[in-house]
A and B are shown apart, each in its own frame.
Chain A
Amino acid sequence: MRHGPTWFNVTSLVIGFSFLYLPIVLLVIFSFNESRLVTVWGGFSTKWYAELFRNQQLLDAFWVTIKVAFMSASVATVLGTMAALVLARSGRFTGRSLFSGMIFAPLVMPEVILGLSLLLLFVALDQARGFWTVMLAHTTFAMCYVAVVVQSRLVGFDRSMEEAAEDLGCPPAKTFFLITLPIILPGVIAGWMLAFTLSLDDLVIASFTTGPGATTLPMKIYSQVRLGVTPEINAVCTILVGIVTIGVIAASLVTKRQQLQKERDERAAYAEPS
């Protein structure tokens, strides 16, 4: 019995996944609702999407958000990969436990605390708040997520190739770019994507650290949600969900293909007589 899926397991999976997906599915369905009343179905329509593209404020907020997310994800990926290398490779050094503490703490730290503390830092530094402060704030918490993702890739990693390269006199930086980076690349890409979506999502930290002219999309959505559920917001949300879903599925397909390619290459390499 245990070797097949039992009715109990199947039921719990079905109920569990419906719980996870039903609200999002309903939200997507009602973004195509003709009626302004979001809970009464008035026929299929895409008019709320058309409305969106005429809403300049929303479009501006969208671009700010994309720019912040792109830049903060890129910087966070570089810093987070460095941090992962330090965690996985650098052995013991003074302040190591403080370092790993600073990597893991932001993962669970309430956002209100992160947001408030960063805002007060920017005020203390007499820094004008806006685009750049949001970007710095997002980089800081996103790099910790990148570090954790990349580190998990580095832990299950055969070091013999790196050691071979170093024994043959390859400088460490070159070894990293020629050998280590290609191997951990799926982790680095996953880290970048995670950082990008975290930044795309964030309301609380952005609200604290933003200034005039840098309203992000979540802030815009939040201020409208407080006034009530509207089909336009459903449409914005559907577009965001669509972007993220396509991105994640594409990334997982790419990883899978790379994995298959690698396996094929390895098999070919073993098959060849040396």
Chain B
Amino acid sequence: MSGGPASSTPKRSLGGWALIAVPYLWLFVFFLAPFFIVFKISLSQVAIAIPPYFPTFDLAEGWAALVENLRELSAENYLWLTQDDLYWKSYMSSVIIAGVSTMLTLLVGYPIAYGMARSPKAWRPTLLMLVILPFWTSFLIRVYAWIGILKNEGLLNQLLLTLGVISEPLTILNTNIAVYIGIVYSYLPFLVLPLYASLEKLDESLLEAAEDLGCPPWQAFWKITLPLSLPGIIAGCFLVFIPAVGEFVIPDLLGGSDTLMIGKTLWVEFFANRDWPVSSAVAVILLLLLVIPIVLFQNQQQKMAEKDR
């Protein structure tokens, strides 16, 4: 970015402003504004009507009606969330399940990313492609594939029974273990890719120096490779953890009836109970829960983007 003063402070033409305005407005209308609506509805009450909440705002009714309607808003739903322990249990167990799965994904993903970064240069594009390819195939399909494997009469149990490892089929499907497997499997590419990017950039001469100075490989890994791959680890873990907290498909298809996750609770509240205000309140709290990791993630992304320049 050393194009002189003209490019560092571009004087913007009409077209330049339009370029900013169009995507900005789009995201404002379809991404940011809806959150305010969610917040407003989380303060409303459920009603048997279309739409199924009360009050609804209609500017045509005039100012007095608007003020009257504003008075109707209340934090009742949030109070309800604290009273019924289904909700806070769902939040807690979502965070725990997402946290455990993130750690498991890291344990599974690190050796893969490491093996890729240490493989001969000619292999790397193919290996990278092999990691990305499952990411392109449907999430739903990949989760579905596990049902056939993990069922009581599924392929895994059949294999273990034939090998004589177990004498009775294991119950894995519809337990939290199946949810862990599902999350690790589905989100693995999200962790491997940033991790691989930071491991590949690693300066090998550091490891050679350590070896020459008599440092055993395991210690060299612990003292050099791991700390230097930390940005990749952090980025990858965020990319797994944040969406996993609000995951719906995996706990719904692989988890059991006792698998509580907030995404599933919100879905049931919305589609089965048709309680839009409560599901909005659930969404608002979930958003607040995720704001901190999301902001941390963004700061880290921005830092990495600036470093790359």
> For the complex, is A165 an interface residue (Cβ under 8 Å from B)?
no
In the complex with contacts A12-B112, A17-B130, A203-B249, A222-B16 CB distance below 8 A: no
> Is the pair B148, A26 in contact by a Cβ cutoff of 8 Å?
yes
The residue on A at minimum CB distance from B148 is A229
Interface check A86, CB cutoff 8 A:
yes
Do the beta carbons of B142 and A113 come within 8 Å of each other? no
Whether A245 contacts B23 by the Cβ 8 Å rule is no
Is the pair A201, B139 in contact by a Cβ cutoff of 8 Å? yes
| A116 x B114 contact (CB < 8 A) | no
A104 — which chain B residues lie within 8 A by C-beta? 297-298, 301
Asked if B19 CB lies within 8 Å of chain A CBs, one says yes
Min C-beta distance of A146 to chain B, whole Å:
10
A38: which B residues are within 8 A, CB to CB?
A: 148
Q: Knowing A13-B116, A90-B10 are in contact, say whether A237-B141 is a contact too (CB < 8 A).
A: yes
Complex contact A12–B31 (CB within 8 A): no
* B96 is an interface residue with CB less than 8 A from chain A: no
- Interface residue B238 (Cβ < 8 Å from any Cβ of A): yes
Rounded to whole angstroms, the CA-CA distance of A68 and B197 in the bound complex is: 33
Binds A, one of B71-79, B150-158, B226-234: B150-158
CB within 8 Å of B: which A148-205 residues: 155, 159, 163, 172-173, 193-194, 197, 200-201, 203-204
A172 touches B131 (CB 8 A): no
CB contacts (< 8 Å) of B22 on chain A: these are 79, 82
Is the C-beta of A102 less than 8 angstroms from some C-beta in chain B?
yes
Q: A79-B23, A91-B10 are in contact. Are A117 and B34 (CB under 8 A)?
A: yes
Contact B238 A2 (CB under 8 A): no
Determine if B137 and A143 form an interchain contact, defined as CB atoms under 8 angstroms apart: no
Alpha-carbon separation in the docked complex, A2 to B221 (Å) = 12
Known: A113-B283, A241-B138. A143 touches B24 (CB 8 A): no
Q: With A39-B158, A95-B24, A102-B32 as given contacts, are A13 and B139 in contact (CB-CB < 8 Å)?
A: no
Q: Given A86-B23, A116-B279, A163-B3, answer yes or no on A245-B111 (Cβ-Cβ < 8 Å).
A: no
Q: Does A108 lie at the interface of the complex (its beta carbon under 8 Å from any beta carbon of B)?
A: yes
The answer to whether the Cβ of B194 comes within 8 Å of any Cβ in the partner chain is no
Place the interface of chain A in its size category. 35 or more
Q: Residue B80 at the A interface, CB < 8 A?
A: no
Say whether B185 faces chain A, with CB atoms less than 8 Å apart. Answer: yes
Q: Which residues of B sit under 8 angstroms from A241, Cβ to Cβ?
A: 137-138, 141
Contact indicator B23/A155 (Cβ below 8 Å): no
Q: Which of A5, A13, A85, A112 contacts B283 (CB 8 A)?
A: A112
A248 within 8 A of B: yes
Q: A12-B112, A79-B22, A197-B136 are in contact. Are A20 and B263 (CB under 8 A)?
A: no
How far, in angstroms, from A155 to B198 measured CA to CA in the complex? 17
- Judge whether A136 and B30 touch: CB under 8 Å: yes
* A270 at interface, CB cutoff 8 A: no
Inter-subunit contact A108/B112 (CB<8 Å): no
CA–CA, A102 and B28, complex, Å: 8
A155–B302 CA distance with the chains assembled, in angstroms: 13
B163 in the interface, Cβ–Cβ < 8 Å?
no
CA distance A184 to B257 in the complex (A): 48
Kindly list 18 other residue pairs between chains A and B, CB separation below 8 angstroms, not including A6-B118, A102-B28: A2-B207, A5-B118, A8-B115, A10-B115, A13-B115, A23-B142, A24-B141, A39-B155, A39-B158, A79-B22, A86-B20, A104-B298, A113-B246, A118-B30, A143-B27, A172-B13, A237-B138, A244-B138
